[in-house]
Amino acid sequence: MATELAKIPQSHFMEIQSLENEIAATNYATKLRREEEAQMAVMREQTVKANEQRHTEVVATNVLQCLTSVGGGALSTLKWGKVPVGGILNSVLGSIATAVAIQDYPRPVVRVAASSVKTLLHNQIAITTRDILRGMS
C-alpha cells in the first residue's frame, strides 16, 4: 500500500488530503448540528412544561382567590362583642400571606396559597374603606 501511495503524484495526494479534511470537517459540523438540535429539543420541551405548570398555577390562584374573597367577606362579619374578630383575622392572615408572597418561594403550592390568602387583606381594606366612607356620609 505504501508503494501505491508513492506512485500517486504529489498534486493528487494533496487533493486527496484536502478532500479528507473537508469530509472530516463536514462530519464534525454535522455532529455538532445534531447535538445542537437535540439540545434545542430538550429546551423546547422544558419550556412547554414550564408554561403548562405556570398556566396551572395561574388558574389555581384565580379560582382560590375567588373562593377566598367570598370567605373573607363572610369572615369580616364576625364580631366578639364589639370587637371585629373577622376583620382582624382577615388583616392578620392577609398580611402574613402578603409577606410570604413577596418572598417568592420556589414551591408553586406556597406561591398559590400565599397569593390566594393575601386576598383577605385586600378584601378587608375594601370593607374597612367602605365602612369609613359610609360613616362620613
What confidence tens digit (pLDDT) does each residue in 76-133 have? 999 999 899 999 999 999 999 999 999 988 899 999 999 999 999 999 999 999 989 9
**Exposure pattern of 25-53 as b/e (b: 16+ CB <10 Å)?**
eeeeeeeeeeeeeeeeeeeeeeeeeeeee
User: For the chain, how many helices (H) and strands (E)?
Assistant: 5, 0
pLDDT at 80 (0 to 100) = 92
Q: What gap in Å lies between CA 21 and CA 30, rounded to an integer?
A: 14
Residue 5: pLDDT band with limits 50, 70, 90:
low
Q: Which residue(s) pair with 83 in the sheet?
A: 80
Give me the residue label for grid cell 400565599: 114
Q: Average pLDDT for residues 30-42, to the nearest whole number? A: 95
